[in-house]
Structure 1
Amino acid sequence: MARLLVLTRDGATALAFLALVALIAAKLNDRPDIQHHGAFHAADGDSLVLDGERMRLDGIDAPELSQTCERQGQDWACGRQAQHTLQQLVSDNSTQCGGNERDRYDRLLVTCRNNAGSINARMVASGMAVSYGRYQQEEGQARARKLGLWAGHFEMPRDVRDQARHESSGLQRLIGGWTGWE
């Protein structure tokens, strides 16, 4: 009987300790959003800069700045158009962007809003960005209406980046082979 009481007490103590650790971990993860307000500069179709802070719109992926797409048999500068569209959306002083996580490039991952609503969602809904984990409904509507990128053929921005990295590493190997600096 005494052994059962000791086991019960020890189990309850261990459970209470684990609950305390879980609460502490949750509190540490509960970082407040970093908020920015004002007229932002669009670095490309999914990246912003304000007062030296680099930000990336969370949940979307826009064409690379140099990326071209095809529409009605013609190439068009879809990366530049995505940047232009985002710039129009964030140039209003009422724009607010907030987030509390950073990507591998140390950019703050943000969701942005202004008087007209969610800028992240509007980029996808206009067809100038694709869903990247969020905004699937907006992407489906843009795709059905053949807006922006969906009006023709394009490579997914991730594939363009992967291809550029692959070509870059191949060039580095080639130069390294010539110079012996592998």
Structure 2
Amino acid sequence: MKAETINGRASVIDGDTLDIRGTRFRLQGVDTPESAQMCGDANGKDYPCGRRAAFALSDKIGHGNVACEVVDKDRYGRSVAVCRTGGEDLNAWLVAQGWGMAYRQYSTAYVRHEEEAKAEKRGIWVGQFTPPWDWRRGHRAADTGTRPAEAATAEPRSVKPPARTAAGCEIKGNVNRKGDRIYHIPGSRDYDRTVINEGSGERMFCTEEEARSAGWRAPRS
């Protein structure tokens, strides 16, 4: 059966997720830092690598059309796809630029690109970072009060404990297409795929009480 391909203008949801006309696409074989994730630069200073990955992808796409070839569905109902702009594989580009890692659990298609980025110290490889899958595991454990298992990484020298953003202010205040102000707490269903755009009035909160007082509400189940 021929794979489905959807073309159109794309919005970047986060470093490895695109939206084309209301359809979400998770980039196949790639895992990028999460939206609230921090990494260390060459001088050991923390920076928002998750946002940087999303901005890099957005800049790469610009105003051009994107073609996403669907290869699977993930547990969130998103289409898993290889996406291209101007014929260039965006999945490969992200990994080669060092803004994503080869998601070996699901595919080895971009291992060569990761090795290239690592050798050239591009993107996150310039300093220390926690692989995104370990970062997510650590935050889920923190939310439930359990102790996460030791992180298994290919490069222990590139790993450090997950940095906290804004002294623990990690609740995302998002404004949806209808203009509803909704906050997402770490570990919730839509947290990882929510990207905050401060230029659109979105922001981070330290507590749910603070978010509610500012006019945001919890997502409806």
Q: Normalising by the residue count of structure 2, what TM-score does the alignment of the two structures yield? A: 0.61
Indicate the residue corresponding to 1:39 in structure 2: 9
Whether the 8 Å CA contact 2:71–2:82 is kept in 1: the answer is: no
Indicate the residue corresponding to 2:216 in structure 1: none
Moved over 6 A (4+): none
Q: Distance in 1 between matches of 2:83 and 2:25?
A: 10
The answer on 1:53 being equivalent to 2:28 is no
Structure 2 residue runs without a partner (length 5+): 147-221
Q: Distance in 2 between matches of 1:34 and 1:93?
A: 20
Whether the 8 Å CA contact 1:41–1:91 is kept in 2: the answer is: no
Q: Distance in 1 between matches of 2:144 and 2:21?
A: 33
- The percent identity for this pair of structures is 35
The answer on 1:101 being equivalent to 2:72 is yes
Whether the 8 Å CA contact 1:35–1:97 is kept in 2: the answer is: yes
Q: Secondary structure at the match of 1:99?
A: strand
- The alpha carbon displacement at 1:122 in A equals 0.3
- AA partner of residue 168 (structure 1): D
Of 142, 145, 164, which aligns to 2:139? 164
Question: Equivalent residues in 2 for 1:6-85 (5 A)?
Answer: 30=1, 32-71=2-41, 72-85=43-56
Q: Distance in 1 between matches of 2:39 and 2:127?
A: 7
Q: Which one has the bigger helix percentage?
A: 1
Task: Summarize deviations over 1:19-38 as a string: whole Å, max 9, x none.
Answer: xxxxxxxxxxx3x3222212
Cα distance change on mapping 1:74 and 1:114 into 2, 3 Å: same
Whether the 8 Å CA contact 2:44–2:128 is kept in 1: the answer is: no
Q: Secondary structure at the match of 2:84?
A: strand
Q: Distance in 2 between matches of 1:170 and 1:42?
A: 32
Structure 1 residue runs without a partner (length 5+): 1-29, 172-182
Q: Secondary structure at the match of 1:43?
A: strand
- The alpha carbon displacement at 1:116 in A equals 5.5
Q: Which of structures 1 and 2 has the bigger CA Rg?
A: 1
Q: Secondary structure at the match of 2:14?
A: coil
Q: Distance in 1 between matches of 2:47 and 2:74?
A: 29
Whether the 8 Å CA contact 2:10–2:65 is kept in 1: the answer is: no
- AA partner of residue 67 (structure 1): Q
Whether the 8 Å CA contact 2:9–2:64 is kept in 1: the answer is: yes
